[in-house]
Structure 1
Amino acid sequence: METKIRGLPDAYFHKILYGIVFLIHKHNQYLTGIQIAFGTQIGSGLTFSHFSCIVINSGAIIGKNCTIFQGVTIGSIRGIKGGVPTIGDNVIIFAGAKIIGNVKIGNNTVIGANAVVTHNIPDNSVAVGIPAKVISNNSKNIVKYYI
């Protein structure tokens, strides 16, 4: 038996609700320049320091208290099957950085401007360059300043 909501079958109600949510999502995307796909898991305290050109894949996981600057891409290789990034807690991702594929970014980590991350980065690290390399295992002062 089908449930009715004010005379509408559930299927119609869900289509209308989805349409409203989709329009709000697209409107926010247009206003901010930030694309966060449905299904992205985001911890509390996520901060976008500057809006514009930020793209986050639907399978990505972002931990608590992360800061993301403009021009950042957090994406997959060959769709979700190729793996998506997992970002730890208290991570700072500076402008233009790209985090691509099935990589894990550790807690309290800093990703430098325009870095391209294609492999795992351990906790408490600072990674820069193309491809990103760890240049320090002491990110404490940088993280404390931004978070």
Structure 2
Amino acid sequence: MFGNIKKDYINHNKEFLNVGFFAMVVYRFGRWRYGIKNKFIRKPFSLIYKLLYFNIKSRGIELPCEVILGENFQIHHNGGIVVSGYTQFGNNCIVRNGVTIGTARIDKIEAPRIGDNVNIGTGAKILGGIVIGNNVDIGANAVVLKDIPNDCIAVGIPARIIKKDK
């Protein structure tokens, strides 16, 4: 847990009071508490996690500890960020303010699987059981409802997929 927190600190420009960094600390703590096998010992830590999570949520970042995060996950310009607990991220992903990532329908619990090196722009919405490939840029305010292959850019509402020039 502490090794990951040190990396998160570096990824968030070594700003201890950065809300994105604090959200990552709470996320790491929430994941860590699952490793406590004795439920009587785990319960107080779960209470602490829920209080911390509520604090972060009130600051505009909803990142439950059930989300699977790869290495070097970054939150830039926090506020209005909502991530479903069923979402999976690869390594080196960046999420900005106003982003929603989650299920597309209430009756079908499917959330996106996001690859490595994905840059998600301000206000983007990524919904449903879709797969976002590696090395993808998602533009500001894009609404992504279908899979995006590797090395692409997604822009618009609904998102158009454009192959990156190499």
Equivalent of 1:19, from 39, 43, 47? 47
Residue identity in the other structure for 1:108: N
Query: Which one of the candidate residues 71, 88, 91 is aligned to 1:44?
Result: 71
Alpha-carbon distance in 1 for matches of 2:46, 2:107: 23
**Aligned counterparts of 2:116 and 2:155: Cα–Cα separation in 1:** 19
User: What's the CA shift for 1:11?
Assistant: 4.5
Q: Deviations over 1:43-68 (max 9, x none)?
A: 11111121100000000001111111
1:104 counterpart = 2:131: yes
Map of 1:6 onto structure 2: none
1:18 and 1:81, CA in 2 relative to 1: closer, same or farther beyond 3 A?
A: same
Check the 8 A contact 1:103/1:119 in 2, yes or no.
yes
- Determine which structure has the larger helix proportion and give its number: 2
Q: Give yes or no for the alignment of 1:28 onto 2:28.
A: no
Q: CA deviation at 1:79?
A: 4.5
The alpha carbon displacement at 1:80 in A equals: 8.2
Q: Distance in 2 between matches of 1:102 and 1:54?
A: 19
Q: CA RMSD in A?
A: 1.7
Distance in 2 separating the partners of 1:80 and 1:106: 25
Deviation at 1:24, TM superposition (A): 1.5
- Offset at 1:128? 0.4
Paired residue secondary structure (1:82): coil
Going by fraction, where is strand more abundant, 1 or 2?
1
* Counterpart check, 1:92 vs 2:154: no
Give identity over the alignment, percent: 40
Structure 2 unaligned blocks of 5 or more: 1-37
Count of residue pairs the alignment pairs up: 129
